[in-house]
């Protein structure tokens, strides 16, 4: 029995689909979600749908009954992750889970990104639990930057604060395939995978690729971290999210989103999705008046 937390999230759904694509029987997959009523499409796949609310430990105990392998997809609630993750780890131990996987952050043990702290602390909890485990330290999602294509085209500039930092991102699907591979056949022993894209780029190079594909000049404008956060807030992002993204760009400027080990492509058995290909797909999905 294999369980995935946050199975109705963007990454969780892809992991579930990849497990099914690998021939894992749907009946042996437990999709844990906070609100089962909002995940009827997952139940339609034939998987077991169980309620699991990070903030309600009693739901976790029920959700993990009979589970042998558990993938803890990190919570999306930055600032609340550690107590939520601790509740899942404690429930996994109590339920007799035999193996635990966790989606962490690239080089979480030494990353300059503020996001890394909760991941480091969660990894420490996992080690202390004594559970056999695999940590998937995911790098940046290419989609994090592709989400800015529309405003960049509208305003004629791609803004950020990553300077000349190189970013080895990969798509969510790339990372989902890695998670499904490990879930279907966990490696022996406690392991850590540093996962990132095969190639890297600067945001200036991303803007140049956008200019090429869009057929018009969209330069990269590098801003001080505080100014970038202010610009994101002015664009409508909640201040905490704007600050997080600006901090992550600043971390990228220090090399925090670069890894050249190619462990991700080795794990999934194919090259990671190139930036140009992911961008072409994202541009094709934009309304004509934007693209």
**Tens of pLDDT along 21-56?**
999 999 999 999 999 988 989 999 999 999 999 999
Q: Is the pLDDT of residue 281 over 70?
A: yes
In this structure, whether the domain defined by 140-170+196-259+273-291 belongs to CATH 3.90.25.10 is answered with: yes
Please check whether residue 146 is in contact with residue 279, taking contact to mean a CB–CB distance below 8 angstroms. yes
Average confidence (pLDDT) over 86-114: 97
Tokens matching residue 117: 């702290």
- Report the chain's mean pLDDT, rounded to a whole number: 96
| Complete DSSP assignment for 22-67 | TT--GGGEEEEES-GGG-HHHHTTT-EEEE--TT-HHHHHHHTTT-
Please check whether residue 4 is in contact with residue 71, taking contact to mean a CB–CB distance below 8 angstroms. yes
Laid out side by side, the sheet with 2-4 consists of 48-51, 29-33, 2-4, 69-72, 99-105, 133-138, 191-195
Q: Is the pLDDT of residue 178 over 90?
A: yes
Query: How far, in Å, CA of 100 to CA of 123, rounded?
Result: 11
- Name the strand (E) or helix (H) holding 170: none
Query: How far, in Å, CA of 114 to CA of 214, rounded?
Result: 33
Strand partners, 2: 29, 69
Residue 125 burial by Cβ neighbours in a 10 Å radius (0-12, 13-18, 19+): middle
Q: Is the pLDDT of residue 162 over 80?
A: yes
- Is the torsion defined by CA of 122, 120, 202, 197 positive or negative? negative
Predicted TM-score of the model (pTM): 0.96
Strand partners, 71: 4, 101
Please check whether residue 72 is in contact with residue 89, taking contact to mean a CB–CB distance below 8 angstroms. yes
Rg (CA), the chain: 19
CATH number for 2-138 (one of 3.30.1490.20, 3.40.50.300, 3.40.50.720, 3.40.50.1580): it is: 3.40.50.720
Q: Is the pLDDT of residue 291 over 70?
A: no
- The residues, ordered by sequence, that sit 6+ positions from 39 with a Cβ below 8 Å of its Cβ are 7, 8, 31, 33, 49
Please check whether residue 140 is in contact with residue 171, taking contact to mean a CB–CB distance below 8 angstroms. no
Q: Lowest-pLDDT range, 71-80, 85-94, 256-265?
A: 71-80
Query: How far, in Å, CA of 256 to CA of 224, rounded?
Result: 17
Q: With bands split at pLDDT 50, 70 and 90, how would you rate the model's confidence at 288?
A: confident
Query: What's the pLDDT tens digit per position in 216-263?
Result: 999 999 999 999 999 999 999 999 999 999 999 999 999 999 999 999
What is the percent of the chain with per-residue pLDDT over 70, rounded to a whole number? 100
Query: What's the pLDDT tens digit per position in 129-155?
Result: 999 999 999 999 999 999 999 999 999
Please check whether residue 217 is in contact with residue 211, taking contact to mean a CB–CB distance below 8 angstroms. yes
Q: Is the pLDDT of residue 16 over 80?
A: yes
Query: How far, in Å, CA of 288 to CA of 291, rounded?
Result: 5
Q: With bands split at pLDDT 50, 70 and 90, how would you rate the model's confidence at 159?
A: very high
Q: Is the pLDDT of residue 188 over 80?
A: yes
Which pLDDT does position 290 carry in this prediction? 75
Residue spans of the domains in the chain: they are 2-138, 140-170+196-259+273-291
Strand partners, 101: 71, 134
Query: How far, in Å, CA of 137 to CA of 86, rounded?
Result: 18
Of residues 256, 249, 4, 240, the one with CA closest to residue 144: 249
């Amino acid at each position: 029995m294999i369980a995935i937390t946050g199975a109705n999230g963007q990454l969780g759904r892809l992991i579930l689909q990849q497990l099914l694509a690998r021939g894992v029987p749907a009946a042996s997959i437990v999709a844990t979600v906070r609100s089962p009523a909002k995940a009827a499409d997952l139940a339609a796949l034939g998987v077991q749908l169980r309620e699991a609310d990070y903030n309600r430990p009693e739901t976790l105990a029920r959700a993990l009954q009979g589970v042998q392998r558990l993938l803890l997809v990190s919570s999306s609630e930055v600032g609340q992750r550690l107590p939520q993750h601790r509740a899942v780890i404690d429930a996994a131990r109590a339920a007799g889970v035999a193996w635990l996987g966790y989606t962490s952050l690239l080089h979480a043990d030494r990353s300059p990104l503020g996001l890394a702290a909760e991941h480091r602390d969660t990894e420490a909890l996992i080690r202390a639990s004594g559970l056999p485990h695999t940590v998937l330290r995911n790098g940046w999602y290419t989609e994090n930057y592709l989400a800015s294509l529309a405003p960049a085209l509208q305003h004629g500039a791609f803004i950020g604060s990553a300077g000349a930092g190189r970013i080895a991102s990969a798509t969510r699907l790339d990372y989902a395939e890695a998670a499904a591979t490990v879930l279907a056949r966990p490696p022996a022993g406690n392991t850590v995978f540093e996962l990132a894209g095969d190639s890297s780029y600067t945001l200036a190079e991303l803007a140049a690729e956008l200019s090429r594909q869009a057929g018009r000049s969209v330069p990269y404008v590098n801003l001080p971290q505080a100014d970038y956060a202010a610009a994101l807030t002015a664009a409508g992002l909640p201040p905490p999210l704007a600050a997080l993204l600006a901090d992550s760009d600043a971390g990228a400027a220090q090399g925090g989103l670069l890894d050249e080990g190619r462990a991700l492509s080795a794990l999934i058995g194919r090259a990671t999705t190139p930036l140009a290909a992911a961008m072409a797909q994202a541009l094709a999905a934009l309304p004509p008046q934007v693209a």
